[in-house]
Chains A and B, each alone.
Chain A
Amino acid sequence: MSDKFTLEIISPDGTLLKLETPEVVIPSYEGEMGILKDHIPLITFLRPGLIKIKDIKERNFFVEDGTVEFANNNLLILTSTAKELSVIDQSSIQEQITAAEKEMRDDSLSDKKKYLLSYKINTLKNINQ
């Protein structure tokens, strides 16, 4: 018995990734969540953060939002913003941080938006280091 499950990352432009993996960590709305085989069925949202696919080699994807469904040992991530860390352009990160920080200063934002934005800034800063 293998201890792997299927992971699919799908964006409106196509299937980004489909593979078998033993563990994935997703930045779910209420905190990071590690998923192993035989997790109970689950539906949740993503906040900005990193999807970490932990196999022999770790792969990281930056996401801003998305929907996650886990059922029948099939982890489905629907997102329009996933980008593998290794292909992200370093110079664009700084731009995104500045843009997000500018947006953050807008006082009319709802708490939820602010919460999401702060995670975006933090994650981006972490990547940038």
Chain B
Amino acid sequence: MPSLDDLKKRIKSVKSTQKITKAMKMVAAAKLRKAQESAEKGRPYSQKMQNIILNLTKSINDPQNAPKLLVGTGEDRKYLCVVLTADRGLCGGFNSNICKLAKTNFKKILGEGKELNIITVGSKGHDQIKREYGKYVIKKFSFKDKKNISFNEADEVGKEIITLFNQNKFDKCIIFYNNFKNVITQIPQAQQIIPTETKNLKENNDENFSYEYEPEEDEILEDLLPKNISTQVFKALLENAASEQGSRMTAMDNATRNAGDLVDKLTIDYNRSRQASITKELIEIISGAESL
């Protein structure tokens, strides 16, 4: 049985932890609003960009000569996985969910005897992945000092991907990130960006335009495809930022509630043992008086 003093100390420490988690929740909530807004605002751009690319893909008659960024190298041997995570912890399952999904994929890729290269963005993901797959990590990015994610950061990652592609380092590129659905739900996602996924093609297949191009079609593709890669990375980063704050908010909310429960329980314990010690003293006094 802990002494009264011990219990008092514990209650105090739990209470101060609760204060911290509460403050973190508030901060996350404020940041979430901003991040969510920019994630939602950024969606049309990446979607429309993807649409243009899909429309262009449809109108390609000669897949042999199409740019490799669009149709792939035709091989399926080397993979590049870009894992996008946060730079800070204390956000529930946010980082581990992405890593879990990524690791399942790594296992599958390696199991099929294919080559694997990994780029990590965000230090938390790097920490988790390097334990098991450290030797595959070829580069890590961290934007810890940046307050807000801007297109420049995404472009940096995008350019790196394209450089590697041009050096023939991989055939397929997959990015892993959390898709922000709402504050409590974030879905870890794997999206293949090189070659461009064409599975959405069927949805709007009836719209088939023959576009007029200016300048030439291949010139447009050459310029647009790298831009699209950066745009997709940017979208992933924005979704991630919103998911991180949402996840942190929920996690901290739970922590605050847990701390509250704990304080209640400890307070009851404290009161009980206080009462017990009073009763004990009374009995001692009474039995002392009786014996006289």
- Whether B141 is near chain A, meaning CB under 8 Å from some CB there, is no
* Bound complex: CA A43 to CA B49 (Å): 12
Instruction: Mark each residue of chain A from 16 to 51: 1 if its CB lies under 8 Å from any CB of chain B, else 0.
Output: 000000000000111001000000111111000000
The count of A-to-B residue pairs whose CB atoms sit within 8 angstroms is 69
Min CB gap B106→A, angstroms = 30
Q: Is the CB of A10 within 8 A of B210?
A: no
Contact with B along A54-82 (1 / 0, CB 8 A): 00000000000001010110001010100
**A41-B209 contact, Cβ under 8 Å, with A10-B48, A80-B151:** yes
One of B64-72, B211-219, B260-268, B272-280 at the interface: B211-219
Q: Which residues of A contact B223 (CB under 8 A)?
A: 45
Chain B residues contacting A76 (CB-CB under 8 Å) are 48, 52
Residue pair A10, B214 in contact (C-beta under 8 Å): no
- Find B56's partner among A43, A44, A72 (CB 8 Å cutoff): A43
Q: Is the interface of B mostly helix, strand, loop or mixed?
A: helix
**Size bin of chain A's contact surface:** 20 to 34
Residues of chain B lying within 8 A (CB to CB) of residue A12: 42, 45-46, 151, 231, 234
| Interface contact B42-A13, CB-CB below 8 Å | yes
The docked-state distance in angstroms from the alpha carbon of A71 to that of B151 is: 27
Enumerate B198-240 residues with CB–CB distance to A below 8 Å: 207, 209-215, 220, 223-224, 227, 231, 234
The listed residue (B41, B209, B212) touching A15 by CB distance below 8 A is B41
Partner of A44, one of B41, B44, B213: B213
CB of A11 closer than 8 Å to a CB of B: yes
Give A8 Cβ to nearest chain B Cβ, in Å.
8
| Complex contact B45–A28 (CB within 8 A) | no
Q: Are B41 and A14 in contact, with the CB atoms below 8 A? A: yes
Q: Does B38 contact A (CB under 8 A)?
A: yes
- Minimum C-beta distance from B113 to chain A (A): 39
CA distance A123 to B176 in the complex (A): 41
Q: How far, in Å, is A61 (CB) from chain B's closest CB?
A: 16
Q: How far apart are the CA atoms of A69 and B234 in the complex, in Å?
A: 21
The answer to whether B52 touches A43 (Cβ under 8 A) is yes
> Which residues of A have CB within 8 Å of B151?
12, 80
Question: What are 27 A-B contacts defined by CB distance under 8 Å?
Answer: A10-B48, A12-B42, A12-B45, A12-B231, A13-B38, A13-B42, A14-B41, A14-B42, A30-B215, A33-B214, A40-B212, A42-B212, A42-B213, A42-B214, A43-B52, A43-B55, A43-B212, A43-B214, A44-B215, A67-B49, A67-B52, A71-B55, A72-B207, A76-B48, A76-B52, A78-B45, A80-B151
